[in-house]
Structure 1
Protein backbone atom coordinates (compact mmCIF):
# COMPACT_ATOMS: atom_id res chain seq x y z
CA UNK A 1 0.00 0.00 0.00
CA UNK A 2 1.41 3.37 -1.05
CA UNK A 3 0.99 6.08 1.58
CA UNK A 4 -1.02 9.25 0.98
CA UNK A 5 2.16 11.28 1.48
CA UNK A 6 3.99 9.28 -1.19
CA UNK A 7 1.09 9.73 -3.64
CA UNK A 8 1.12 13.47 -3.04
CA UNK A 9 4.88 13.51 -3.64
CA UNK A 10 4.41 11.68 -6.95
CA UNK A 11 1.76 14.18 -8.04
CA UNK A 12 4.03 17.13 -7.21
CA UNK A 13 6.92 15.52 -9.05
CA UNK A 14 4.80 14.78 -12.12
CA UNK A 15 3.85 18.44 -12.41
CA UNK A 16 7.24 19.94 -11.56
CA UNK A 17 8.65 19.94 -15.10
CA UNK A 18 11.74 18.14 -13.83
CA UNK A 19 13.17 14.84 -15.04
CA UNK A 20 12.15 11.77 -13.06
CA UNK A 21 12.27 7.98 -13.37
CA UNK A 22 8.97 6.88 -14.90
CA UNK A 23 9.88 3.23 -14.21
CA UNK A 24 9.85 3.63 -10.42
CA UNK A 25 8.02 0.55 -9.03
CA UNK A 26 5.96 2.54 -6.52
CA UNK A 27 4.98 5.08 -9.17
CA UNK A 28 3.86 2.30 -11.51
CA UNK A 29 1.84 0.71 -8.71
CA UNK A 30 0.16 4.07 -8.05
CA UNK A 31 -0.70 4.43 -11.74
CA UNK A 32 -2.20 0.94 -11.85
CA UNK A 33 -4.34 1.78 -8.82
CA UNK A 34 -5.68 4.92 -10.53
CA UNK A 35 -6.34 3.20 -13.86
CA UNK A 36 -8.47 0.46 -12.27
CA UNK A 37 -11.34 2.88 -11.73
CA UNK A 38 -11.24 3.93 -15.38
CA UNK A 39 -11.41 0.26 -16.37
CA UNK A 40 -14.60 -0.04 -14.32
CA UNK A 41 -15.98 3.15 -15.90
CA UNK A 42 -15.42 1.75 -19.39
CA UNK A 43 -17.37 -1.44 -18.64
CA UNK A 44 -20.52 0.15 -17.21
CA UNK A 45 -23.71 -0.26 -19.29
CA UNK A 46 -25.83 2.45 -20.93
CA UNK A 47 -28.54 2.24 -18.28
CA UNK A 48 -29.76 4.76 -15.72
CA UNK A 49 -27.84 2.92 -13.01
CA UNK A 50 -24.74 2.63 -15.19
CA UNK A 51 -24.79 6.33 -16.05
CA UNK A 52 -25.07 7.24 -12.37
CA UNK A 53 -22.11 5.02 -11.57
CA UNK A 54 -20.07 6.60 -14.36
CA UNK A 55 -20.79 10.07 -13.02
CA UNK A 56 -19.84 8.98 -9.50
CA UNK A 57 -16.52 7.59 -10.76
CA UNK A 58 -15.72 10.79 -12.68
CA UNK A 59 -16.45 12.88 -9.60
CA UNK A 60 -14.03 10.67 -7.65
CA UNK A 61 -11.15 10.36 -10.09
CA UNK A 62 -10.92 13.71 -11.89
CA UNK A 63 -8.54 16.34 -10.60
CA UNK A 64 -11.37 18.86 -11.02
CA UNK A 65 -14.94 17.92 -11.94
CA UNK A 66 -17.22 20.41 -13.72
CA UNK A 67 -21.00 20.05 -13.59
CA UNK A 68 -22.64 18.95 -16.82
CA UNK A 69 -19.60 16.89 -17.85
CA UNK A 70 -20.12 14.05 -20.34
CA UNK A 71 -17.35 11.57 -21.19
CA UNK A 72 -18.29 8.69 -23.48
CA UNK A 73 -16.41 5.42 -22.93
CA UNK A 74 -13.98 4.05 -23.65
CA UNK A 75 -11.55 6.58 -22.27
CA UNK A 76 -7.90 5.91 -21.48
CA UNK A 77 -5.66 7.81 -19.05
CA UNK A 78 -2.14 7.12 -17.77
CA UNK A 79 -3.00 8.52 -14.35
CA UNK A 80 -6.68 7.60 -14.37
CA UNK A 81 -7.75 11.24 -15.06
CA UNK A 82 -6.16 12.29 -11.75
CA UNK A 83 -4.41 15.22 -13.46
CA UNK A 84 -7.33 16.22 -15.72
CA UNK A 85 -9.26 19.36 -14.71
CA UNK A 86 -12.50 20.23 -16.52
CA UNK A 87 -14.89 23.17 -16.37
CA UNK A 88 -18.67 22.94 -16.65
CA UNK A 89 -20.64 21.51 -19.59
CA UNK A 90 -17.66 19.81 -21.25
CA UNK A 91 -18.33 17.04 -23.79
CA UNK A 92 -15.66 14.42 -24.52
CA UNK A 93 -16.53 11.84 -27.16
CA UNK A 94 -15.49 8.18 -27.15
CA UNK A 95 -12.02 6.64 -27.54
CA UNK A 96 -10.03 9.57 -26.20
CA UNK A 97 -6.54 9.20 -24.76
CA UNK A 98 -5.28 11.37 -21.91
CA UNK A 99 -1.57 11.01 -21.29
CA UNK A 100 -2.19 12.80 -18.01
CA UNK A 101 1.17 12.27 -16.39
CA UNK A 102 1.04 16.08 -16.03
CA UNK A 103 -1.92 18.42 -15.69
CA UNK A 104 -4.50 18.87 -18.47
CA UNK A 105 -6.89 21.82 -18.11
CA UNK A 106 -10.09 21.87 -20.21
CA UNK A 107 -12.26 24.99 -20.11
CA UNK A 108 -16.03 25.15 -19.81
CA UNK A 109 -18.26 24.42 -22.84
CA UNK A 110 -15.44 22.70 -24.71
CA UNK A 111 -16.13 19.79 -27.08
CA UNK A 112 -13.56 17.10 -27.89
CA UNK A 113 -14.29 14.75 -30.79
CA UNK A 114 -13.62 11.00 -30.87
CA UNK A 115 -10.17 9.47 -31.04
CA UNK A 116 -8.10 12.40 -29.77
CA UNK A 117 -4.87 12.27 -27.79
CA UNK A 118 -3.81 14.90 -25.25
CA UNK A 119 -0.24 14.08 -24.23
CA UNK A 120 1.69 15.83 -21.45
CA UNK A 121 4.59 13.37 -21.18
CA UNK A 122 7.91 14.06 -22.89
CA UNK A 123 11.35 12.49 -22.85
CA UNK A 124 14.91 13.83 -23.09
CA UNK A 125 16.73 13.66 -26.42
CA UNK A 126 19.66 11.85 -24.80
CA UNK A 127 19.51 8.15 -25.78
CA UNK A 128 21.08 7.11 -22.47
CA UNK A 129 18.54 9.05 -20.42
CA UNK A 130 15.67 7.62 -22.46
CA UNK A 131 17.04 4.11 -21.94
CA UNK A 132 16.97 4.88 -18.21
CA UNK A 133 13.20 5.65 -18.55
CA UNK A 134 13.53 9.31 -17.58
CA UNK A 135 10.73 11.68 -18.56
CA UNK A 136 9.30 15.10 -17.78
CA UNK A 137 5.84 16.55 -18.25
CA UNK A 138 4.43 19.81 -19.58
CA UNK A 139 0.83 20.88 -18.92
CA UNK A 140 -1.83 21.33 -21.60
CA UNK A 141 -4.26 24.25 -21.34
CA UNK A 142 -7.45 24.23 -23.44
CA UNK A 143 -9.59 27.35 -23.16
CA UNK A 144 -13.34 27.76 -22.92
CA UNK A 145 -15.75 26.93 -25.76
CA UNK A 146 -13.05 25.19 -27.81
CA UNK A 147 -14.03 22.62 -30.44
CA UNK A 148 -11.42 19.93 -31.06
CA UNK A 149 -12.27 17.75 -34.06
CA UNK A 150 -11.87 13.99 -34.25
CA UNK A 151 -8.42 12.43 -34.31
CA UNK A 152 -6.55 15.50 -33.06
CA UNK A 153 -3.27 15.16 -31.15
CA UNK A 154 -2.26 17.89 -28.70
CA UNK A 155 1.38 17.72 -27.61
CA UNK A 156 3.01 18.66 -24.28
CA UNK A 157 3.03 22.30 -23.21
CA UNK A 158 0.41 23.51 -25.70
CA UNK A 159 -2.18 26.19 -24.91
CA UNK A 160 -5.31 26.54 -27.07
CA UNK A 161 -7.20 29.82 -26.69
CA UNK A 162 -10.89 30.39 -26.02
CA UNK A 163 -13.37 29.71 -28.86
CA UNK A 164 -10.72 28.15 -31.11
CA UNK A 165 -11.55 25.31 -33.51
CA UNK A 166 -8.96 22.59 -34.23
CA UNK A 167 -9.68 20.73 -37.46
CA UNK A 168 -9.97 16.94 -37.51
CA UNK A 169 -6.69 15.05 -37.70
CA UNK A 170 -4.53 18.03 -36.75
CA UNK A 171 -1.31 17.73 -34.75
CA UNK A 172 -1.05 20.68 -32.37
CA UNK A 173 2.61 21.28 -31.56
CA UNK A 174 2.50 24.99 -30.63
CA UNK A 175 0.10 27.40 -28.95
CA UNK A 176 -3.07 28.35 -30.84
CA UNK A 177 -4.59 31.80 -30.14
CA UNK A 178 -8.22 32.40 -29.26
CA UNK A 179 -10.96 32.90 -31.86
CA UNK A 180 -9.25 31.13 -34.77
CA UNK A 181 -9.59 27.97 -36.84
CA UNK A 182 -6.37 25.92 -36.98
CA UNK A 183 -5.75 22.81 -39.07
CA UNK A 184 -2.95 20.58 -40.33
CA UNK A 185 0.22 18.77 -39.32
CA UNK A 186 1.55 20.77 -37.63
CA UNK A 187 -1.60 22.79 -36.91
CA UNK A 188 -1.51 26.33 -38.32
CA UNK A 189 -4.06 29.11 -38.17
CA UNK A 190 -6.34 28.94 -41.22
CA UNK A 191 -8.41 32.02 -40.45
CA UNK A 192 -9.95 34.09 -37.69
CA UNK A 193 -13.47 33.47 -36.39
CA UNK A 194 -15.42 36.66 -37.19
CA UNK A 195 -18.90 38.19 -36.91
CA UNK A 196 -19.64 36.65 -40.30
CA UNK A 197 -19.69 33.25 -38.58
CA UNK A 198 -22.84 34.39 -36.76
CA UNK A 199 -24.50 34.82 -40.17
CA UNK A 200 -23.35 31.74 -42.12
CA UNK A 201 -22.62 28.10 -41.23
CA UNK A 202 -21.27 25.18 -43.28
CA UNK A 203 -19.53 27.54 -45.69
CA UNK A 204 -22.28 29.59 -47.36
CA UNK A 205 -25.49 28.39 -45.71
CA UNK A 206 -27.29 31.25 -43.99
CA UNK A 207 -28.24 30.71 -40.35
CA UNK A 208 -32.07 30.79 -40.11
CA UNK A 209 -33.51 33.93 -38.60
CA UNK A 210 -35.35 32.08 -35.83
CA UNK A 211 -32.08 30.53 -34.65
CA UNK A 212 -30.32 33.89 -34.83
CA UNK A 213 -33.12 35.47 -32.81
CA UNK A 214 -32.98 32.74 -30.17
CA UNK A 215 -29.23 32.31 -29.72
CA UNK A 216 -27.67 35.54 -31.03
CA UNK A 217 -29.85 38.02 -29.19
CA UNK A 218 -27.11 40.60 -28.82
CA UNK A 219 -27.07 41.31 -32.57
Structure 2
Protein backbone atom coordinates (compact mmCIF):
# COMPACT_ATOMS: atom_id res chain seq x y z
CA UNK A 1 0.00 0.00 0.00
CA UNK A 2 1.33 3.41 -1.03
CA UNK A 3 2.06 5.81 1.81
CA UNK A 4 -0.03 8.99 1.82
CA UNK A 5 1.55 12.25 0.78
CA UNK A 6 1.70 15.05 3.33
CA UNK A 7 -1.07 16.83 1.39
CA UNK A 8 -3.27 13.72 1.52
CA UNK A 9 -2.67 13.49 5.27
CA UNK A 10 -3.48 17.19 5.66
CA UNK A 11 -6.81 16.81 3.84
CA UNK A 12 -7.63 13.69 5.88
CA UNK A 13 -7.19 15.55 9.20
CA UNK A 14 -4.13 13.45 10.02
CA UNK A 15 -0.81 14.66 11.35
CA UNK A 16 1.24 16.15 8.51
CA UNK A 17 4.36 18.26 7.95
CA UNK A 18 3.52 21.66 6.49
CA UNK A 19 7.18 22.06 5.51
CA UNK A 20 6.78 19.31 2.89
CA UNK A 21 8.15 20.31 -0.55
CA UNK A 22 4.81 19.92 -2.37
CA UNK A 23 2.94 21.99 0.22
CA UNK A 24 5.67 24.63 0.26
CA UNK A 25 5.51 24.94 -3.54
CA UNK A 26 1.73 25.27 -3.47
CA UNK A 27 1.89 27.96 -0.79
CA UNK A 28 4.58 29.89 -2.63
CA UNK A 29 2.49 29.96 -5.82
CA UNK A 30 -0.60 31.01 -3.84
CA UNK A 31 1.23 33.77 -2.00
CA UNK A 32 2.54 35.10 -5.30
CA UNK A 33 -1.02 35.39 -6.64
CA UNK A 34 -2.22 36.94 -3.38
CA UNK A 35 0.54 39.53 -3.58
CA UNK A 36 -0.68 40.69 -6.99
CA UNK A 37 -4.28 40.68 -5.76
CA UNK A 38 -3.49 42.63 -2.62
CA UNK A 39 -1.39 45.34 -4.27
CA UNK A 40 -3.70 45.82 -7.26
CA UNK A 41 -5.04 49.28 -8.04
CA UNK A 42 -8.69 50.00 -7.18
CA UNK A 43 -9.45 50.20 -10.92
CA UNK A 44 -8.03 46.69 -11.57
CA UNK A 45 -11.26 44.85 -10.76
CA UNK A 46 -10.92 42.36 -13.64
CA UNK A 47 -7.34 41.53 -12.64
CA UNK A 48 -8.45 40.75 -9.06
CA UNK A 49 -11.42 38.68 -10.28
CA UNK A 50 -9.15 36.58 -12.53
CA UNK A 51 -6.66 35.98 -9.73
CA UNK A 52 -9.39 34.78 -7.34
CA UNK A 53 -10.95 32.62 -10.08
CA UNK A 54 -7.58 30.95 -10.59
CA UNK A 55 -6.94 30.65 -6.86
CA UNK A 56 -10.14 29.07 -5.48
CA UNK A 57 -11.00 25.41 -6.01
CA UNK A 58 -14.52 26.43 -7.09
CA UNK A 59 -16.20 29.81 -7.24
CA UNK A 60 -19.73 30.67 -8.28
CA UNK A 61 -20.91 33.76 -10.11
CA UNK A 62 -21.06 37.36 -8.97
CA UNK A 63 -18.36 37.36 -6.26
CA UNK A 64 -16.33 40.08 -4.56
CA UNK A 65 -13.10 39.47 -2.63
CA UNK A 66 -11.74 42.77 -1.31
CA UNK A 67 -7.99 43.14 -0.79
CA UNK A 68 -6.17 42.43 1.30
CA UNK A 69 -7.16 38.78 1.37
CA UNK A 70 -5.04 35.91 2.69
CA UNK A 71 -5.18 32.13 2.43
CA UNK A 72 -2.77 29.19 2.55
CA UNK A 73 -3.56 27.38 -0.71
CA UNK A 74 -6.80 28.74 -2.17
CA UNK A 75 -7.48 25.52 -4.07
CA UNK A 76 -9.22 24.05 -1.01
CA UNK A 77 -11.83 26.86 -0.93
CA UNK A 78 -15.13 25.99 -2.64
CA UNK A 79 -17.71 28.78 -2.79
CA UNK A 80 -21.17 29.22 -4.26
CA UNK A 81 -22.77 32.19 -5.96
CA UNK A 82 -22.73 35.78 -4.69
CA UNK A 83 -19.83 35.40 -2.25
CA UNK A 84 -18.76 38.65 -0.61
CA UNK A 85 -15.51 38.81 1.35
CA UNK A 86 -14.77 42.21 2.87
CA UNK A 87 -11.35 43.72 3.62
CA UNK A 88 -8.57 41.94 5.51
CA UNK A 89 -10.04 38.42 5.70
CA UNK A 90 -8.03 35.23 6.17
CA UNK A 91 -8.92 31.65 5.26
CA UNK A 92 -6.39 29.07 6.42
CA UNK A 93 -7.47 26.38 3.96
CA UNK A 94 -5.18 23.53 4.97
CA UNK A 95 -8.34 21.46 4.73
CA UNK A 96 -11.46 22.16 2.69
CA UNK A 97 -13.62 25.22 3.25
CA UNK A 98 -17.09 24.98 1.70
CA UNK A 99 -19.08 28.22 1.45
CA UNK A 100 -22.67 28.15 0.21
CA UNK A 101 -24.52 30.69 -1.90
CA UNK A 102 -25.00 34.24 -0.60
CA UNK A 103 -22.26 34.09 2.06
CA UNK A 104 -21.14 37.48 3.38
CA UNK A 105 -17.95 38.11 5.37
CA UNK A 106 -17.52 41.34 7.32
CA UNK A 107 -14.03 42.83 7.62
CA UNK A 108 -11.32 40.77 9.32
CA UNK A 109 -13.25 37.47 9.30
CA UNK A 110 -10.94 34.51 9.90
CA UNK A 111 -11.66 30.90 8.94
CA UNK A 112 -9.20 28.39 10.38
CA UNK A 113 -8.93 24.75 9.35
CA UNK A 114 -5.37 24.42 10.68
CA UNK A 115 -4.56 23.55 14.27
CA UNK A 116 -1.70 22.12 16.31
CA UNK A 117 -1.52 19.13 18.65
CA UNK A 118 -2.12 19.99 22.30
CA UNK A 119 0.50 17.48 23.50
CA UNK A 120 3.78 19.46 23.86
CA UNK A 121 6.07 16.68 22.61
CA UNK A 122 3.99 16.06 19.50
CA UNK A 123 3.69 19.80 18.82
CA UNK A 124 7.51 20.07 18.92
CA UNK A 125 7.70 17.50 16.11
CA UNK A 126 6.44 20.21 13.73
CA UNK A 127 3.42 18.16 12.70
CA UNK A 128 0.06 19.87 12.32
CA UNK A 129 -3.59 18.97 11.74
CA UNK A 130 -6.42 20.47 9.71
CA UNK A 131 -10.19 19.90 9.94
CA UNK A 132 -12.70 21.04 7.28
CA UNK A 133 -15.08 23.98 7.72
CA UNK A 134 -18.51 24.19 6.14
CA UNK A 135 -20.80 27.22 5.92
CA UNK A 136 -24.31 26.95 4.44
CA UNK A 137 -26.34 29.28 2.24
CA UNK A 138 -27.36 32.82 3.18
CA UNK A 139 -24.89 33.25 6.04
CA UNK A 140 -23.54 36.56 7.30
CA UNK A 141 -20.38 36.54 9.43
CA UNK A 142 -20.01 39.92 11.12
CA UNK A 143 -16.70 41.75 11.35
CA UNK A 144 -13.92 39.98 13.22
CA UNK A 145 -15.67 36.60 13.45
CA UNK A 146 -13.34 33.63 13.92
CA UNK A 147 -14.48 30.18 12.77
CA UNK A 148 -12.38 27.38 14.27
CA UNK A 149 -11.33 24.06 12.69
CA UNK A 150 -13.98 21.41 12.10
CA UNK A 151 -16.96 23.76 12.52
CA UNK A 152 -20.12 23.58 10.41
CA UNK A 153 -22.51 26.53 10.22
CA UNK A 154 -25.99 25.89 8.83
CA UNK A 155 -27.98 28.03 6.39
CA UNK A 156 -29.80 31.30 7.10
CA UNK A 157 -27.47 32.18 9.95
CA UNK A 158 -26.12 35.47 11.29
CA UNK A 159 -22.97 35.32 13.44
CA UNK A 160 -22.46 38.54 15.40
CA UNK A 161 -19.32 40.64 15.09
CA UNK A 162 -16.35 39.47 17.15
CA UNK A 163 -17.78 36.01 17.80
CA UNK A 164 -15.52 32.97 18.11
CA UNK A 165 -17.26 29.91 16.66
CA UNK A 166 -15.84 26.80 18.31
CA UNK A 167 -18.71 24.36 17.70
CA UNK A 168 -21.36 23.73 15.08
CA UNK A 169 -24.17 26.27 14.61
CA UNK A 170 -27.57 25.03 13.36
CA UNK A 171 -29.56 26.63 10.54
CA UNK A 172 -31.98 29.55 11.01
CA UNK A 173 -30.39 31.22 14.03
CA UNK A 174 -28.58 34.30 15.24
CA UNK A 175 -25.49 33.39 17.27
CA UNK A 176 -22.99 35.63 19.08
CA UNK A 177 -20.22 35.66 21.64
CA UNK A 178 -17.01 34.02 22.73
CA UNK A 179 -17.65 31.17 22.68
CA UNK A 180 -20.40 31.70 20.11
CA UNK A 181 -23.88 30.56 21.19
CA UNK A 182 -27.36 30.77 19.71
CA UNK A 183 -29.36 33.70 21.05
CA UNK A 184 -32.37 33.60 18.73
CA UNK A 185 -34.15 31.22 16.40
CA UNK A 186 -35.35 32.65 13.07
Which runs of no fewer than 5 residues in structure 1 stay unpaired? 1-8, 194-219
Match of 1:147 in 2: 140
Alignment pair present for 1:116 and 2:100:
no
RMSD: 1.2
Deviations 1:157-216 (CA, angstroms, capped at 9, x unpaired)? 0000000100000000000000000000000000111xxxxxxxxxxxxxxxxxxxxxxx
Tell me how far apart the structure 1 counterparts of residues 25 and 125 of structure 2 sit (CA, whole Å): 18
Q: 2:58 aligns with which of 39, 44, 64?
A: 64
Match of 1:5 in 2: none
Tell me how far apart the structure 1 counterparts of residues 113 and 33 of structure 2 sit (CA, whole Å): 21
Match of 1:92 in 2: 85
Which structure: larger Rg? Answer: 1
Tell me how far apart the structure 2 counterparts of residues 168 and 186 of structure 1 sit (CA, whole Å): 12
Match of 1:39 in 2: 35
Which runs of no fewer than 5 residues in structure 2 stay unpaired? none
Q: Which has the higher strand share?
A: 2
Task: State the Cα distance separating 1:23 from its structure 2 match.
Answer: 2.4
Match of 2:126 in 1: 133
Task: State the Cα distance separating 1:10 from its structure 2 match.
Answer: 5.0
Task: State the Cα distance separating 1:26 from its structure 2 match.
Answer: 4.1
Give the TM-score taking structure 1 as reference length: 0.80
Is residue 108–residue 143 contact of structure 2 (8 Å, CA) maintained in 1?
A: yes
Task: State the Cα distance separating 1:54 from its structure 2 match.
Answer: 0.9
Q: Which 4+ stretches in 1 moved above 6 angstroms? A: none
Is residue 7–residue 23 contact of structure 2 (8 Å, CA) maintained in 1?
A: no
Give the TM-score taking structure 2 as reference length: 0.94
Tell me how far apart the structure 2 counterparts of residues 109 and 10 of structure 1 sit (CA, whole Å): 33
Tell me how far apart the structure 2 counterparts of residues 21 and 157 of structure 1 sit (CA, whole Å): 19
Is residue 139–residue 157 contact of structure 2 (8 Å, CA) maintained in 1?
A: yes
Aligned residues: 182
Q: Which has the higher helix share?
A: 1
Alignment pair present for 1:28 and 2:24:
yes
Tell me how far apart the structure 1 counterparts of residues 22 and 8 of structure 2 sit (CA, whole Å): 15
Match of 1:157 in 2: 150
Tell me how far apart the structure 1 counterparts of residues 133 and 54 of structure 2 sit (CA, whole Å): 21
Tell me how far apart the structure 2 counterparts of residues 43 and 111 of structure 1 sit (CA, whole Å): 23
